[in-house]
């Protein structure tokens, strides 16, 4: 039964070794974060009605 479970995991590419074998790499997405200074300047411009 355990072999059946491991076989199913291989087909789902759950383990890192399985993904490497089929040459699939997963990466964390880059955060879409702006610095506080950029946000503050944008707020000031919006309040002043500029830009």
- Number of structural domains, the chain? 1
Phi first, then psi: what are they for 22, rounded to 5°? -100, 10
Asked whether the beta carbons of 22 and 13 are under 8 A apart, the reply is: yes
Identify which has the larger pLDDT, 10 or 36: 36
pLDDT number for residue 43: 93
- What is the average pLDDT score of the chain? 83
pLDDT number for residue 45: 93
Domain that holds residue 35: 2-48
């Amino acid at each position: 039964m355990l072999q059946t479970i491991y076989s199913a995991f291989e087909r789902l590419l759950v383990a890192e070794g399985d993904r490497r074998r089929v040459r699939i790499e997963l990466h964390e997405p880059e955060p879409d974060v702006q610095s506080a200074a950029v946000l503050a300047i944008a707020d000031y411009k919006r309040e002043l009605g500029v830009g």
